[in-house]
Structure 1
Amino acid sequence: MSDPPRAAYLRGNLGSFAADMRRMINAPELSDVKFIVGEEKKVVYAHRCILAYRCEAFSAMFAKQHLSCDAKEAEIPFDLSDVQPEVFLAVVEFLYTNCVMLSSKIALDVLTSAVEYGLDELQKLCVDYINSTLTVESACEALQSIVKTRGFHELSDPALLAILQSDLLTIDEPDLINFVREWAHVNSVVLDKPVPEIAKEVVCELRLFLLTPEELTFLEAENKKDNFIAVDKIAEVWKFHALKKPSGIAFHLLRRRKGTRPRDHHKYLNLYHK
């Protein structure tokens, strides 16, 4: 008696499959859910089963609607006014095809949406794209999104230094300090080195003189836990607050960044900020 044939897992043409799936993107035919997207209120059509099985956030969204609405109300479109249509369509494209078309115009916003929807693979694709097209100026613009991802923790010392030296960052200094502290802690674990050793060079580019005395007090208390910033650097800032004279300090450390929130004591720094 002959043995039964062995089962085999065979693949068809993945390219044609992806092309067919792409044809379903924003196609009204047979769609069962609508989204009203962006300020221009663009209608985007989709298929619940695809979005739900590919993304837990959409699954929860549909389940919540199902519990709270009757059958007629379930046809009401979802309002996504805070996202650009081209960004949302890029997310949908990824969910349907596992591929995405990115450009410098939308990459940061797609990354933000990927974080919001918990799409780790899309996050990685966005970070890889941003890193491959990175300049100091674009990195500063990107940082506010990148700090939410693993990509920020993977920045090298020179890359992070170049970013911190820029005036174009759209992040307030206390937030930036927290992000850099987190970077130092992650790399301390990865490289098995103390946090102060990891952070030694990059903390020199944090603009501590932009902090108020209250913010500096909080920073000093946090710093006692990990010695993230050298004590003498914090002492320099206290000296400035006491004398109101920023003498002997590198000028760029006294400049406000693009995202720096104004504080009363900045008038003593003679800052030029556009």
Structure 2
Amino acid sequence: MAGPCSARLQGEAAAFTTALRTLVNNPQFSDVTFVVGREQQKVFAHRCVLACRCQAFQGMLSQETVGSEGSPSSVPPQGPFILGNVQPEVFLAVIEFLYTNSVTLNSHIALEVLTSSVEYGLQDLCKLCVKFIKDTLSMEQVCEALQAAVTYGQVDLQQHCLAFIEGCTTAVVRTQGFQELSDVVLARVLRSDRLAMDELDLVQAVREWAHVSS
């Protein structure tokens, strides 16, 4: 006699995402609070969502606390957790991703969200940030993007930024971002034999970089 049939059926994913989006920074039923940035903005979240989606948050939320007798307590910390070194908009983008597996980015926060994605070990968010940065790369941001790509080992983004710089080197070296490159990243740029700039002008640009960096 044949056994019972079983199957896992997938419902409407968009409806599920829309419902979870209503919980982003929603104090209703929230059981953990973060105080974010210099603005000390409160961000409300739900520890079960954060813990199941991100190991870094799981560790943060499950740390043992010390009870009144000096012994470890089984009650997880309630916060508020102070996150003074991140912009509220950046942290909210991370929270949005954890709840919905999507993220709202703009050119002002994309690199910082990339940084947070690396810090929290969120590889899928990192990929989304890299794609957005590549798609919206500008003259003013390319050096900062290259610096981040080298720092976080994003090889694909490094290559994309270098190709961008090679195509408009004369304009790029005039940007503030070029002046703020680290010596390691500048060396990577200078190793290229495709820079669209006269060699003497490039030497002068490097001298100006050295003067600013000294």
TM-score range, shorter chain: 0.7 to 0.9
Aligned counterparts, 1:44-55, within 5 A = 44-55=43-54
Deviations 1:241-270 (A, max 9, x none): xxxxxxx961232222499412xxxxxxxx
Cα distance between partner residues in 2 of 1:9 and 1:84: 40
In 2, Cα distance between the equivalents of 1:121 and 1:173?
27
**1:80 lines up with 2:83 in the alignment:** yes
Gaps spanning 5+ residues in structure 1: where? 182-198, 206-247, 263-274
CA shift digits 1:16-73 (9 cap, x unpaired): 1001111111111211110000111110011112111111111121233x24565789
Q: For residues 140 and 28 of structure 1, what CA distance do their matches in structure 2 show?
A: 39
Q: How many angstroms apart in 2 are the aligned matches of 1:258 and 1:100?
A: 38
> How far apart, in 2, do the equivalents of 1:122 and 1:73 lie?
27
Cα contact 1:33–1:77 (8 A) shared by 2: yes
Secondary structure at the aligned position of 2:77 is classed as helix
Partner of 1:159: 164
Which SS does the other structure have where 1:74 is aligned?
coil
Deviates most, 131-140 or 35-44: 131-140
In structure 2, the CA distance between the partners of 1:97 and 1:249, relative to structure 1 (3 Å rule), is closer
- The match for 1:104 among 76, 97, 107 is 107
The aligned counterpart of 2:70 is: none
Helix, strand or coil for the counterpart of 1:43? strand
- The 8 Å contact of residues 142 and 164 in structure 2, kept in 1 or not, is answered as no
The match for 2:213 is 261
With structure 1 as the length reference, what TM-score do the two structures score?
0.63
Counterpart code for 2:109: I
Residue 140 of structure 2: SS of its match in structure 1? Answer: helix
Q: Are 1:174 and 2:177 an aligned pair?
A: no
CA distance in 1, matches of 2:140, 2:210: 12
Q: Counterpart amino acid of 1:161? A: E
Aligned to 1:10: 9
Cα distance in 1 between the residues matched to 2:87 and 2:136: 22
Q: What's the counterpart of residue 146 of structure 1?
A: 149
Paired residue total: 200
2:202 paired residue number: 252
* RMSD (Å) for aligned C-alpha atoms: 3.0
Matched residue type, 1:250? L
Where does residue 201 of structure 1 map in the other structure?
A: 193
SS of equivalent residue, structure 1 residue 34:
strand
Cα pair 2:97 2:103 within 8 Å, conserved: yes
Q: Show the 5 A alignment for 1:187-226.
A: 201=193
* Structure 2 counterpart of 1:119: 122
Deviating 4+ runs (over 4 angstroms): 67-73, 162-165
Question: How has the CA–CA distance of structure 1 residues 200 and 35 changed in structure 2, closer, same or farther, with 3 Å as cutoff?
Answer: closer
Q: In structure 2, how many angstroms separate the alpha carbons of the residues matched to 1:163 and 1:114? A: 30
Counterpart amino acid of residue 92 in structure 1? I
Please give the alpha-carbon distance, in whole angstroms, between the structure 2 residues aligned to 1:42 and 1:175.
Answer: 36
Identity within the alignment, %: 38
Distance in 1 between the 2:161 and 2:42 partners? Answer: 42
1:237: which partner in 2? none
Find the aligned partners of 1:110 and 1:42 in 2 and give their Cα distance: 17
Taking the aligned partners of 1:141 and 1:200, their CA distance within structure 2 comes to 18
- d(CA) in 2 for partners of 1:78, 1:12: 35
Kept in 2, the 8 Å contact 1:139–1:163? The answer is: no
- The structural deviation recorded for 1:75 is 2.6
Q: Larger Rg: 1 or 2? A: 1
Check 1:200–1:172 CA distance in 2 against 1; reply closer, same or farther (3 A cut): closer
